Amino acid sequence: MIITTSLRENESLIARAQELASELGADYQPRRKLSLSKCLERFGPFYLLYKDRLSFVNADASELIFHPDTAVLRLKAPHDALISLLGQSPKSILDTTMGLASDSLVMAAVGNRVTALESQEVIFQVVSRGLATYQTDNKQIEKAMQSIKAVKSDSLTFLKSQTDHSFDIIYADPMFSETIKESENLNAIKPLANGSRLTREWLDEAKRVGRERIIIKAHFRDSVFEELGFERQVRPNQKLHYGVMELIDTEY
């Protein structure tokens, strides 16, 4: 894997890129004012270090960048379906599919303690570093970013390592089985994401580790709700539905 810098490079940025390359076991290559397309021709997909963030450029030139915009918009809305499903009191939540961390941010921003898992190396590096370094004047988002514990692990391995009832809520948002054309911000993550479906083994471990409920999100055409026994939360005119499995008799 290659790491290079933005065009606005200086000695400090180059030194940081070289240090990051060593940390990740990657190779640093000078930018030499090359365009992104020329970089792709020479390097293939590569990490791109800016002054204030790390991104990843895919073979199709789409760029994976961490940005909390989606979470900010959801928190400004009068109602968010996921927040409603969490309950009122603060919870310990295991987000088994961090991805771009939008759901993790929303859950953390309303006072929950979130541990977020990401199995894919590139996504983990870009997003976890973004959570740690992104600058914003939004204090709610800043506090949420700082509070999230990002862990590099596949969800099943992590679940198996946990004691019974370690988290109040287990959450999963696997890659959608159907394409959503409106979700252009997901284009850069698709080539990098873990496309595995949820399994019975995953569910058994989630039931053991969870205390209150398991929540999943999937395309409304996805059969995962029925296959695994989740109660589908129908959202009229929405392409994504949530599924809930109660582990104890509680009300939201």
Predicted local confidence at residue 78, as pLDDT: 92
Least confident of 76-90, 98-112, 123-137, 182-196: 182-196
Pairing of strands 240-246, 210-219: antiparallel
How many residues can be counted in the chain? 252
Predicted local confidence at residue 189, as pLDDT: 85
The pTM score is: 0.92
Q: pLDDT grade, residue 236 (50/70/90)?
A: confident
Q: Is 130 exposed, middle or buried (0-12, 13-18, 19+ CB in 10 A)?
A: buried
CA distances from 150 to 47, 58, 81, 113 (A): 19, 23, 23, 12
Q: pLDDT grade, residue 132 (50/70/90)?
A: very high
Q: Are the CB atoms for 49 and 5 separated by under 8 Å?
A: yes
